[in-house]
A = this chain, B = another copy of it.
Amino acid sequence: MKCSAFIATSVDGFIARPDGSVDWLETAGQTDVDLGPQADMGMNAYMASIDCIIMGRKCMETIAGFNLTPEQWPYGDTRIIVLSNSITEVPKHLKETVEIYAGTIPALLTQLESEGYTHAYVDGGATIQSFLNLQLISEITITRAPIILGEGIPLFGPSSQSIQFKQAKAVAYTNDFVQVHYHVSYQ
């Protein structure tokens, strides 16, 4: 099945501050600009293209910390699988929404495929890195907020292989966020 990532970073490549906070995503750029039909910066079209979400524990905990109401929940009723070997229970208010998976990533994908899933949204820095190292991410969309954080949790980490991108696309939104989209080419 296809696996892709759609993630926001700072210009210096961090997905969160060192403590995991993503407050800067709300305050960076021209917050008073009305992007009109582009206000979601491609998120709705992306969500319509995927049929399940695979995220890391930390990513899930960040989202849990937002205490979103059902109306604010951005994932609709899309199935969400949280990869974790360290927890067996999800935060109470997410019990109906997410499930924990403790096996290997290839086994998970085999299982999802057998259930008819075709396109997974891979979320969270560590999880995206794991999928890249397994050569499983085929497309990545990076939306860079126009800010330098200086430190934080990086999207990309040390990897044992050289990963090349192709079919680059880029758009600068009028709020000064820049979104790039690549297909991933494993050597």
Residue numbers of A with Cβ under 8 A of B are: 11-13, 24, 28-30, 132, 142, 144, 146-151, 154-173, 176-178, 180, 182
A162 to chain B: closest residue by CB: B147
Asked if A176 contacts B170 (CB within 8 A), the reply is no
Interface centre among A148, A149, A176, A178 (most CB of B within 10 A): A148
Give the residue of B13, B142, B146, B173 whose beta carbon is less than 8 angstroms from that of A164.
B146
Separation in Å of the A93 CB from the closest CB of chain B? 32
Copies of this protein in the assembly total 2
Interface centre among A28, A30, A161, A165 (most CB of B within 10 A): A165
Q: How far is the CA of A149 from the CA of B30 in the complex (A)?
A: 31
Asked if A176 contacts B168 (CB within 8 A), the reply is yes
A150 to chain B: closest residue by CB: B159
Asked if A12 contacts B165 (CB within 8 A), the reply is no
Known contacts A156-B11, A178-B180; is-contact A165 B151 (Cβ 8 Å)? no
Q: What are the nearest 8 A-B pairs in CB distance?
A: A146-B165, A12-B156, A170-B172, A150-B159, A168-B176, A170-B170, A148-B163, A168-B172
Give the residue of B149, B167, B168, B176 whose beta carbon is less than 8 angstroms from that of A182.
B176
Asked if A151 contacts B158 (CB within 8 A), the reply is yes
Contacts of A147 in B (CB 8 A): 162-165
Q: How far is the CA of A148 from the CA of B144 in the complex (A)?
A: 16
Asked if A166 contacts B176 (CB within 8 A), the reply is yes
Asked if A164 contacts B12 (CB within 8 A), the reply is no
Asked if B162 contacts A149 (CB within 8 A), the reply is yes
